[in-house]
Structure 1
Amino acid sequence: MRIFTAALATETNTFSPICVDRRAFEASLYAPPGEHPDTPTLCTAPITVGRRVCAEKGWDLIEGTATWADPAGLVNRSTYESLRDEVLTQLTAAMPVDAVVLGLHGAMVAAGYDDTEGDILTRVREIVGPDILVCAELDPHSHLTVKRFKAADVFVYFKEFPHTDFVDRAEDLWRITIDTLEGRVKPVMSVFDCRMIDVYPTSREPMRSFVDKIMGIEQSDPDILSISVIHGFMAGDVPEMGTKMLVVTNGKPDKGDAMARELGLELFSKRGTFIMPQIDETQAVTQAMSATAWPVVIADVWDNPGGGTAGDATVLLEELRARGAKDTAIGTIWDPMAVQICMAAGEGAEIPLRFGAKSAPGTGNPVDGTVKVVKLVANAEMRFGESFAPFGDAAHIVLDGIDIILNSTRAQSFDPSLFSVMGIDPTSKKILVIKSTNHFYASFSKIASEIIYCSAGTPYPNNPAKTAYRHAPKTIWPMIADPHGTERGAA
């Protein structure tokens, strides 16, 4: 067997002012054929798992380019087209192939392309023809469109949020690929539109039990090859935004349709109960400063670079300074210019510095003060599960007794190693401020005495009922109360 694999991924917050060009992909991950590292980077797990699988089977794995940009705003049109065509040219050169296994995100939007994944999958299908297996692993914070559904045979999405299972789901995708190529299964996808948009952390109920339930169905029912919840991405203003339920069966489309509908309506019945309760910055700092066990982690959930924001909000920092907080560390505030100034000053320097809150309204005010430059790290990285996440050249500064990490490559706070690589022992602090919605939970929960979810400022469009969408559907919850008519018994 000859199998082609590649990855092209980012998550697009169409409201973000941070545009994405080729440099953004190169800063996060750009690996030409054969140069992908041994460890996966979120959407590239099909490549690293595929290496092992194909070696064991004695199959030829033809690797194309793998590239990933950290979430931000619209992708530059020529950047998307050039990276897409790079992969498609590699696929054409690899022909004939028996399957195409891709790593995609599912929420990329480029100038002129609302549905980049649908575009690239359709072009892949045109190259390989109607009978070749085309499949992909995707992030659940994405959009499942009709175009991409028609172009592919199998989609498998991460189940967990935080996304701790991207390697496991790549294993699932390759299992289905092997069984299909060896004639044991004929995968068929069924989809149900839940007509809602919400946030679904699997670290708490009710989503924890729901994911456990669908994994139980996969294990107990031989007709079911995979079940995925496509959460949707509320910051992506595209026509098919929203939550979907996907069931892959072994040639049982009627059963898949019924199960997708049943599970989708069950999810819909719990709407509005999934997301973590949040408090504002005043309440969050009061609660953290009154704690008696440490460290307390304050998650600045809506200034999350993983959702496409800049990650430069200063609202929490301003509140902590006003309250005289000590034994506190903040990771991170994105400000490449301030990092350059610190790099030029050198470790140990005390300099006047303005930093933060440059990207957009609702992120607070730029901070001015005399800071001490404690530690400088070029090309800094933190752990994220089995992989590493770069956060670029970084500076550890101290202002008014608060340790602050400034970074030059936007990245959310995945792991306590973010602090330790910058010379800060996170377990020695009373308060840790991080920027992430929920990906941080798997690692920070191991050291935190308490986790506080804070809604500070308005860097992210987090209320779909009030968001000024231009393209997203207006006929889903919470834009309307009951799009299925379930409360009238009409479902």
Structure 2
Amino acid sequence: MMQAKPRIAIAGFQHETNCFGTTKAGLAEFEMADSWPAMLHGDAVVAGTRGMNLPVAGFAKAAEQAGLELVPILWCAAEPSAHVTDAAFETVCAKILDGLRAAGPLDGIFLELHGAMVTEGHPDGEGELLRRVRAWAGPELPIVVSLDLHANISAASVELADYIAIYRTYPHLDMAETGARCVPVLQHLLAGVRLHKAFRQMNCLIPLHAQYTSATPARELYAALPPLEQAGVQADIALGFTAADFPDTRPSCVAYARTDAAAAQAADRIAALFAELEPHFSHPMLTPQQAAEIACQPRAGMPVVLADVQDNPGAGGTSDTTGLLAALAQADAQGVLMGLFHDPATAAAAHEAGQGGILSTALGGRSGAEGDQPFEAEFKVLALGDGRCRYSGEMYGGGVAELGPAAALRLHGTGADITLVVTSIRNQCLDLAHFTHIGLDPARFQTVCVKSTAHFRADFEPIASAVYPVAAPGVFPCDLGAFPYKNLHPDVRTIPAKG
């Protein structure tokens, strides 16, 4: 029987899995702080995320305003990487289930998940977690879920959850908003309203750099959702994460309505629009040499931004590849700022050398990607920091990045003028604060290079004269033909990235 004040359990377990990555996510990776907070338990789930652009924060705020009683259990996330280890998955799942069992009478559950988790033992990590939660909860207890825009959604997940909400922006500026959208739907479910579901999967894979929602064709695709809402249908689209190699790796859509016919009609409309727009998802990338040519063109005013899209740690990249750096150095490019390079040994050497010191090092280049190798050079240490970086941009504003001991270095003894930031903990370079926290102003450089695929656009586009994706070697190919897929559905085809 529902309590006078509905009691809603909340938990989060996020990982985006690059099945072609180099290192796995163990329990320590979920416990540590990196671009997101460390593992949170109990009341800290709400207190430790309050005000942040995270689904759990948006859900908690909206739920409190709606008069729901929150029963926070656990929240954790690990930087994207190769598979989640079985030990980590089992441990976190057990913590969530134990928390549910200890929570007392519940009226509903909210889960913040990603949708592209692949574990050593479960290709559909979220589906397996939902299976366990539903087995405990029974068929009647409402379960609502938030997922990432890059989710690879399985039919099992749709069946097990009563409602799924998905981010609608890339960069993900609406994560908190997505969590908040779950609250009124949950209230309807608590009131006995039944939602009919429809689910459609598309038969193609979209390169991640082409999923940017402020440009054609993703912009037009997502513009179809508000009219459906006005017609009483809750619908969402997932564009998929191309590196999570399993049969449900693909874009999809979900729709919820008061009747089967209305839900099915909405899902069919989205699928038809997707088919119409599919040819336009083929977006070009520059070679490192072409990018260097652009960087060497004289200009005044705002910098050009070059995105090293295939070494994005936010997609499981190592954040240490050197292909773009080598091309810029070879071209004697001037006024270049680059980041973030994940190289703990070089960061430690810089701290040992001290500010103003000169160090000789073999930077990065340990990804194992074909064509990648360490960049051997001398660098001057411009600045040092502890790596505690408070975000200033819209996407992660209110949060703090933990970069570990960090250093700003300038290439020394060559004709090139290149400054870069080296960190001890992998973080996607998506916020101007990744540079300004160590005393570097990106707007004062001619060229800014970021290891990111699209999230950087929210904070860097306003200071950029132009933005170019660059296809340097990395373990997250946006050229999908370079992935050695083994487990895709046989009907799924890849959309090429034009050169």
Tell me the TM-score normalized by structure 1.
Answer: 0.92
Q: Which stretch has the larger CA shift, 368-377 or 113-122?
A: 368-377
Q: Determine the structure 2 residue equivalent to 1:45.
A: 55
Q: Determine the structure 2 residue equivalent to 1:431.
A: 447
- The structure-2 alpha-carbon separation of the partners of 1:379 and 1:186, relative to structure 1 and needing over 3 Å to count, comes to farther
- Indicate conservation of the 8 Å contact 2:295/2:333, yes or no: no
Aligned AA for 1:255? A
Distance, in Å, in 1 between the alignment partners of 2:334 and 2:354 is 24
- The structure-2 alpha-carbon separation of the partners of 1:387 and 1:191, relative to structure 1 and needing over 3 Å to count, comes to farther
Distance, in Å, in 2 between the alignment partners of 1:459 and 1:53 is 39
1:15 to 2:20 alignment: yes
Offset at 1:392?
3.0
Alignment of 1:130-169 (within 5 A): 130-169=139-178
Q: Determine the structure 2 residue equivalent to 1:24.
A: 29
Offset at 1:348?
2.6
Aligned AA for 1:92? R
1:309 to 2:317 alignment: yes
Q: Determine the structure 1 residue equivalent to 2:3.
A: none
CA deviations over 1:47-101 (Å, ceiling 9, x no partner): x223323333333201011101111111111011101111111011113211100
1:362 to 2:374 alignment: no
**Match for residue 353 of structure 1 among 332, 353, 361:** 361
Q: Determine the structure 2 residue equivalent to 1:99.
A: 108
- The structure-2 alpha-carbon separation of the partners of 1:243 and 1:58, relative to structure 1 and needing over 3 Å to count, comes to closer
- Indicate conservation of the 8 Å contact 1:153/1:188, yes or no: no
Aligned AA for 1:208? R
Distance, in Å, in 2 between the alignment partners of 1:450 and 1:39 is 35
Offset at 1:264?
0.8
**Match for residue 108 of structure 1 among 94, 106, 117:** 117
Tell me the TM-score normalized by structure 2.
Answer: 0.90
1:201 to 2:212 alignment: yes
Distance, in Å, in 1 between the alignment partners of 2:310 and 2:479 is 11
Q: Which stretch has the larger CA shift, 174-183 or 404-413?
A: 174-183
Q: Determine the structure 2 residue equivalent to 1:483.
A: none
Distance, in Å, in 2 between the alignment partners of 1:270 and 1:55 is 40
Offset at 1:245?
1.5
Q: Determine the structure 1 residue equivalent to 2:410.
A: 398
Distance, in Å, in 1 between the alignment partners of 2:65 and 2:270 is 36
- The structure-2 alpha-carbon separation of the partners of 1:81 and 1:169, relative to structure 1 and needing over 3 Å to count, comes to same
Distance, in Å, in 2 between the alignment partners of 1:385 and 1:278 is 27
Q: Determine the structure 1 residue equivalent to 2:84.
A: 75
Q: Determine the structure 1 residue equivalent to 2:462.
A: 446
Offset at 1:458?
4.2
1:214 to 2:225 alignment: yes
1:182 to 2:191 alignment: yes
> What secondary structure, in the 3-state scheme, does the structure 2 residue paired with 1:347 have?
coil
Name structure 1 gaps, 5 residues minimum: 481-491
Distance, in Å, in 2 between the alignment partners of 1:156 and 1:387 is 23
Q: Determine the structure 2 residue equivalent to 1:484.
A: none
1:265 to 2:272 alignment: yes
CA deviations over 1:454-491 (Å, ceiling 9, x no partner): 111243233444532111112122389xxxxxxxxxxx
Distance, in Å, in 2 between the alignment partners of 1:479 and 1:284 is 23
1:235 to 2:249 alignment: no
**Match for residue 84 of structure 1 among 70, 93, 97:** 93
**Match for residue 71 of structure 2 among 57, 62, 67:** 62
CA deviations over 1:355-398 (Å, ceiling 9, x no partner): 11112123622112221222222243252343434333321111
- The structure-2 alpha-carbon separation of the partners of 1:75 and 1:122, relative to structure 1 and needing over 3 Å to count, comes to same
Distance, in Å, in 2 between the alignment partners of 1:359 and 1:27 is 23
**Match for residue 376 of structure 1 among 384, 402, 411:** 384
Distance, in Å, in 2 between the alignment partners of 1:349 and 1:234 is 42
Offset at 1:425?
0.9
Query: What value does the CA root-mean-square deviation take over the aligned residues?
Result: 1.9
- Indicate conservation of the 8 Å contact 2:20/2:475, yes or no: no
Offset at 1:188?
2.6
- Indicate conservation of the 8 Å contact 1:312/1:358, yes or no: yes
- The structure-2 alpha-carbon separation of the partners of 1:41 and 1:318, relative to structure 1 and needing over 3 Å to count, comes to farther
Distance, in Å, in 1 between the alignment partners of 2:267 and 2:488 is 22
How many pairs align?
473
- The structure-2 alpha-carbon separation of the partners of 1:291 and 1:142, relative to structure 1 and needing over 3 Å to count, comes to farther
- Indicate conservation of the 8 Å contact 1:347/1:376, yes or no: yes
Q: Determine the structure 2 residue equivalent to 1:488.
A: none
> What secondary structure, in the 3-state scheme, does the structure 1 residue paired with 2:281 have?
coil
Aligned AA for 1:452? Y
Offset at 1:159?
0.7
Q: Determine the structure 1 residue equivalent to 2:256.
A: 248
> What secondary structure, in the 3-state scheme, does the structure 1 residue paired with 2:477 have?
coil
Distance, in Å, in 1 between the alignment partners of 2:204 and 2:51 is 31
- The structure-2 alpha-carbon separation of the partners of 1:450 and 1:345, relative to structure 1 and needing over 3 Å to count, comes to same
Distance, in Å, in 1 between the alignment partners of 2:223 and 2:269 is 16
CA deviations over 1:163-202 (Å, ceiling 9, x no partner): 111111111111211232234x422321111111114211
- The structure-2 alpha-carbon separation of the partners of 1:479 and 1:297, relative to structure 1 and needing over 3 Å to count, comes to closer
- Indicate conservation of the 8 Å contact 2:309/2:478, yes or no: no
CA deviations over 1:1-37 (Å, ceiling 9, x no partner): 1000010001000000121112222133311222232
